[in-house]
Amino acid sequence: MDPDLLLLGLIWYVVFLLSLTCHEAAHALAAKWGGDLTAFHAGQVTLNPLPHMRREPFGTVLVPLLSYVGGGGMIGWASAPYDPFWQQRHPRRAAWMSLAGPAANFLLSIAAAVSIHTGILLGILRVPASASFTRIVAADSAGAAEGLAVFLSILFSLNVLLGVFNLLPIPPLDGYSALGLFTSERGALALENLRRAIAPYAGIGILLSWTLFDRIFDPVFRIALNLLYPFSRYG
């Protein structure tokens, strides 16, 4: 494989692992605040990726690396354990727990955006003439600045993707459980009972979600770019 592709893959994997770790740690922390200590006792209220990798080695190691080698992108998954009886007793707290993961991804995108603009102000980075998933910002010189530009580009793009995708209101994604915030306790419980009932068909939900997401991500990505650079209109 080309050395540049290997370097890009390494940066992509570091960002991917950071993003998944923050997502699952946010779930675990929100559950702890809501009274469920399951993930806390499993050591997942942490930004150390190792507990998350041990729980889902295929989703955090094997699948991401194989998907990058096979297609140039990177997909995968992680998870945080929770007490289903706690969820039954406190469905709205469980809805907040679900929302915490995508919220962490959006915060990482905001952190990337702040870092990008700081780099531009310092003369290290610059606004690119055209943008793509891995080129949200360009380096103003060769060397370490190029690596920083790629890192921040993927950090911004990937976390927009993860945040929006997980908010789709389709089970088993977080956005479905988060619907409980807009209903009564009884309504939130009914939503969770339905999700549990159709859990064996979760793969269909993921396939449907990805099909829908494939159609909406381009406009979402353009909106994110234009929010990042409000005076540079990207079509």
For the annotated catalytic residues, the residue numbers are 24
**Nearest alpha-carbon partner for 127 in 112, 135, 119, 137:** 137
Output the pLDDT for position 203: 81
Lowest mean pLDDT among 11-15, 29-33, 108-112, 141-145: 141-145
Q: What is the pTM of this model?
A: 0.93
In this model, does residue 51 exceed pLDDT 80?
Answer: yes
Output the pLDDT for position 234: 64
**Nearest alpha-carbon partner for 171 in 215, 128, 201:** 201
The string of pLDDT tens digits covering residues 198-227 is: 877 778 888 888 888 888 999 999 999 999
| Every domain of the chain and the residues it spans | 3-228
Residues in CB range of 180: below 8 A, 6 or more apart: 91, 92, 94, 95, 98, 187, 188, 189, 191, 192
What is the arithmetic mean of pLDDT over 123-129? 93
How far apart CA 178 and CA 189 sit, in angstroms, is: 11
Output the pLDDT for position 235: 57
Is-contact 153 134, C-beta < 8 A?
A: yes
